[in-house]
């Protein structure tokens, strides 16, 4: 008899073991996901629901553990053991409210998004999508003023595309802590010529980094296909309609307050769970406003209304954001928390950025917004090779 410990942190280990022993690809994957450990936090439950969960756990013969408190419960066990709670015909009647939300979570876990629909195209998420940053601002935190002309910005975009960027993100307003707002006309004057020049050269697709509907509309007219909004559509009420009407891809980022106030709002009891809840609410509002689900990407907003410790905790628990069921983008590039961890100044954080992106890929992120595309591409090539072996 031979006993081998499999790598429990990834379903790939179980899938490979089953496939090597004759299982077909899809059944092997679903079985691997099904027996992997799942921990679910359930909040805002009634006393009757809490008691029903405890009773269900006892009847399951120890297949799942349940910890409870006033208004909440934590359920842990193999996904296949917890899955009956998502079925109306299997779950106790007292837990009917739980079924739809748990069903969505399990579905997202078993079948994560494989592509992202943007304006006029679709981006595959089977391999990392690197988003190259082109800041045409004088005051961005790490590269402000580095691109003093339209021609310089277009050439930078061309270099990033050559290095492996699959999307170019053009920004005309700094969102660093304490940054002042830029008037709409000035933003348009900064970003539209660059977007039009990149589009003319066939470089793209192109994203515009803006919170403002008028800027987004001008950028889309110039050739942009994606709107990247750090406010998650909360700053400008008209932006959702612009995105929906244009059928643009949308990146919804988590931030509390504004760049001027966000550092004072970095107060969380459990950062990953709270960011996930707030992002989920943003995405739901976007869908209600007419933006199709397949066009939405969520971004946990590293560095925005979060301390260094909170950013590191959020990176480690990124699977909580992935469980929302939307593709996840991360923007860790050169952020302060990387400096806190490594001691490196802002101009020397590209290696730490690449490592952070590789860790984020392992935890389920699929889009990565960075300044140094070439270095990040190498790190992600290795990280993705471990999860998608050829």
What are the residue numbers of the active site?
A: 335, 369
Give the Cα separation of 139 and 145 in Å (integer): 7
Contacts 24+ apart (CB under 8 A), 230-238: 230/175, 230/255, 230/301, 230/304, 231/255, 231/258, 232/279, 232/282, 233/282, 233/285, 233/286, 233/289, 234/282, 235/211, 236/211, 236/212, 238/213
Residue 89's contacts (CB-CB under 8 Å, 6 or more residues apart) are none
Residue 316's contacts (CB-CB under 8 Å, 6 or more residues apart) are 363
Give the Cα separation of 31 and 139 in Å (integer): 51
Give the Cα separation of 335 and 44 in Å (integer): 35
**What's the full length of the chain, in residues?**
390
Token code pair at residue 13: 């280990």
């Amino acid at each position: 008899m031979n006993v081998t410990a499999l790598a429990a942190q990834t379903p790939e280990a179980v899938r490979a073991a089953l496939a090597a022993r004759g299982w077909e690809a899809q059944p092997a994957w679903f079985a691997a996901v099904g027996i992997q450990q799942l921990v679910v936090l359930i909040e805002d439950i009634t006393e009757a629901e809490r008691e029903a969960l405890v009773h269900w756990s006892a009847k399951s013969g120890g297949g799942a553990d349940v910890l409870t408190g006033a208004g909440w419960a934590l359920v842990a066990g193999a996904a296949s053991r917890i899955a009956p709670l998502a079925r109306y015909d299997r779950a106790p009647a007292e837990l009917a409210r739980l079924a739809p939300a748990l069903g969505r979570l399990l579905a997202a876990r078993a079948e994560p998004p494989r592509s992202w629909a943007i304006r006029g195209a679709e981006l595959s998420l089977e391999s990392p999508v690197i988003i190259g940053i082109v800041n045409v601002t004088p005051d961005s935190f790490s590269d402000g003023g580095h691109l003093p002309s339209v021609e310089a910005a277009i050439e930078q975009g061309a270099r990033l595309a050559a290095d492996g960027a699959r999307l170019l993100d053009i920004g005309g307003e700094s969102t660093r802590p304490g940054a002042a707002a830029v008037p709409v006309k000035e933003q348009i004057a900064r970003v539209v010529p660059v977007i039009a020049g990149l589009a003319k050269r066939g470089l793209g697709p192109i994203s515009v980094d803006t919170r403002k509907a008028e800027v987004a509309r001008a950028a889309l007219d110039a050739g942009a296909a994606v709107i990247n909004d750090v406010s998650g559509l909360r700053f400008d009420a008209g932006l959702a309609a612009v995105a929906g009407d244009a059928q643009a891809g949308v990146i919804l980022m988590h931030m509390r307050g504004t760049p001027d106030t966000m550092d004072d709002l970095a107060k969380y009891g459990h950062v990953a769970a709270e960011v996930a809840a707030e992002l989920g609410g943003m995405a739901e509002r976007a869908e209600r406003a007419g933006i199709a689900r397949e066009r939405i990407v969520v971004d946990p907003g590293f560095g925005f209304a979060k301390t260094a410790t909170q950013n590191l905790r959020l990176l480690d628990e990124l699977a909580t954001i992935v469980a929302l069921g939307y593709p996840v983008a991360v923007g860790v590039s050169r952020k302060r928390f990387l400096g806190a961890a490594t001691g490196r100044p802002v101009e020397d954080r590209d290696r730490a950025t690449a490592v952070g992106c590789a860790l984020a890929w392992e935890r389920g992120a699929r889009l990565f917004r960075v300044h140094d595309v070439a270095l990040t591409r190498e790190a992600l090539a290795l990280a993705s090779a471990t999860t998608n072996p050829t």
